[in-house]
Structure 1
Amino acid sequence: MAGGKQSPRQKMINLMYLIFIAMLAMNMSKEVLSAFGLMNEKLTDANTRATEQNNRAYANLATKAADQAKQFGEAKEKTDALKEKADSFYAYIEDLKGKMTSDVKDKKDYETMDKSKFLDEYFFVSGTITPEGKEFVSKMDEFRKASLEALGGTNLAPVVESRFSTNPVKNKDGAQLNWLNYHYEGFPLVASLTKLTQIQADVKATESDALSSLLTTQLDDAVSLSKYDAMVVFDKNAYYPGEKLSGKIVLGKNDPNLVAEKVVINGEDWPEDKIKAGQVILDGPAGGVGDRDIKGEFHFKQGDSTVTIPIKGGYSVIPRPNEAVISADKMNAVYRGLSNPMTISMPGVPSNKVSASAAGLKRVKGDSYMMRPGKGNEVTIRVTGTLPDGKKVSSNKKFRIKEIPPAVGMVRGQYGTVSMPKTSVGKIRVGAGLPDFLFDLKLNVSAFKIKVPGQVAIPVTGTTMNGRAKQAINKARRGDQITIYDIKATTSGYKLKKVLPVVIKVSN
């Protein structure tokens, strides 16, 4: 195509050849854009599935932590802290992606997403990084640090460091570039969109890694014999003088295949017929009044060695009772308007031989009761028990009656000051909650008022905005603080006396 004098026909052929190459390049460019779009779709679907899997893992860990706080509590604390950061970072990226495609009519027409204008202006101005660009990098750094705190000391730390690194990058010419410029300046919109979705995928992968790593570590510890504890479990907590002692010594993991080679209790070898699968049977006289210790050892074979697990426990022998034991299951007071669970019993007296009475008190089953107090500031519970010898003993105890504390107004499950775009404010549902209350109550909102700066307060019935409220919201400006107050809420037919306002700060 070059050199020598060319005829007009040859020049025309050369020109057409160049046009043909350009058309191929354009088609290839469109194919690449479509490929990015399809990749983004697949990543988005994968992120949805990963979210569901992670949520199930979080729920599983929460159950384990509730059942075995010492074993799984620390892992739950770490993953809960990581989840909070992950949810925040994921939502931030999702909001950024929404801004990037807000002007795109057809979200799946990837061939039109070939411009780099949005991020070039959003992240960069006149060769410098904008506050928005710095915020994006800061969010990456924050999540990386949170992930390393959760996974510190594991072999996954280098992986996390690499996933969310914002260190300068060398290009193909060996020049060192800022991380943000290298990855997001001058790239087609769909390519940047896919990169952001990949970061979200990395967030989900990091959550999954943390859950798997921390849970596996705890489970590995759980199966080790060195982690077992011996527990002394009696049929009841205290005994009368002359009663026969009854109870068991049970390992923390009651494995039917786990039988000790030898058990020593209080310096004596225990009979073989009382050493059962994963436990030791205790019987014999309780002794006189006072505290009694039980000390000893389990001996197990592990490979060629012997593992010794210490036994440490005790019990008390007490005089026959002369007063009842009454305890609130969740608090040291009872709340007006609620069914307060209580346990009422007498040491050594069966629940069917114990009766209790008070205004608003009702037996549920056995020694479980429900108290729904009425008027006044105190309630007295009167208990009578019939001892094995037929004698009756009685006892009274007073409980304070308290009001349910003030609830807080909530939107999107958040309270206090909540930031969101103006376009989202009109779609919210107003709720109420008691974040620090001992009871898990469902509060029903029936009405509220909304005040937009510069507009009159508007009353609303129900939990969603009416037409007048939406009109007022449309007049709000960026930075305005919209107050939702005078929230009316009830629970189980009881009207809460006060619900604190919730403030919405208009972000854009």
Structure 2
Amino acid sequence: MQVIFSQNDEADIDELKGAFLSFLEEDSPIRKSIEQELDTSDPKVRLKDGAEKKTWEIQHFDNKPLIAVIALLSKIQIDVQNAESNILTYLYSQIDASSFKFNKLGARVIAKTSYVLEGDVYRAEVFLAAEDTTQQPIILINDKPLNIVDGKGIYEVPATSPGTYKWGGIIKYKTPEGGFNSYPFEEEYIVSEPSVTISPTKMNVFYMGVPNPVSVSVPGVPSEDLQVTVTNGKIQRDGKDYLVFPTAEDINGRNTKVTVSANIGGQSRSMGAMTFRVKQVPDPVATIAGQASGVIRKEDLLAEAGIFAALIDFDFDLKFTVTQFDVTFTGAGGYTNTWSSTSNRFTDEQTRQFNALTPGSIIYIDNIMARGDDGTNRPLSPISFKIR
């Protein structure tokens, strides 16, 4: 820095002082010393001087010996040089004053996920992290500090229910000046239910006319990000699961496929598919008093109001109602008589015939038709009973 200094002009000193101070902040520790060293303000009026106002020049140079004036001018030169040197030293120290100091380096790898689908790309950020082991950061989550271990905050929260959860906080780090810088952050994580897929390959069957429940899950993907489709019929969500309604019979499973896709990173990815066979609901069995043939007591027969159609060992909620049947009685001499009903209930005439039965008599019920909730009409196998 080059400064042109006039020893005889107070204005030059003030101008130089102003130039020096322009390099310094208001709270600079050397600002006050420079103002004092290069002060050219007029002295205060003193009574012992006769209350005469003196200027800075008169105060220091009027009626002073030459040797004193030279000494004062030399002092002013030294003060200017010292001020210049102090400013340069201060400015140089400020170049790195606000830089953070670290004493430890370590490799870090941050991956978006450690679970990668086949055909996808594993991506991670690899970098060198600097640490200051002499001070720990302050990490606040919901205004509560985290436990810090080796300069890293440990965030733990119980995973109580599935879903996507967002969280965040602030990292506060002390600056070299003694203040704190704040660094906000946000993150999210996904909680999934523990799941396992067990597929009975011989039981991949849908039934016509009933809602077929299907459970679909993909590890690491929330259920709301899944898209499930079926090629034969329609599929709809039922809570966490799905219901499939096939529209056509497909005994060999050639045209019925359930496909699952997932929304991952804003893109739809195929997770796989599974084929199913589609069958008609099996025919029900006609029963009286819970029996589908055999020996029956006359009292048990008379206690029943009619014939019921039961789906044996079929777990779906589907009902059939008998719409017609014939009852044939075998009497003495081998003669037979038949009485018909156009509902699922015994007619009055059929009931009177039941009252006349004797032990050993045979009743034969055929021409049985039943209608199901799925809208189909089914002919049922005949049943027969021997009166005990």
| TM surpasses 0.5 | no
Q: TM-score, normalised by structure 2?
A: 0.43
Q: Which entry has the higher C-alpha Rg, 1 or 2? A: 2
Which structure shows the higher strand fraction?
2
Q: TM-score, normalised by structure 1?
A: 0.33
Which structure shows the higher helix fraction?
1
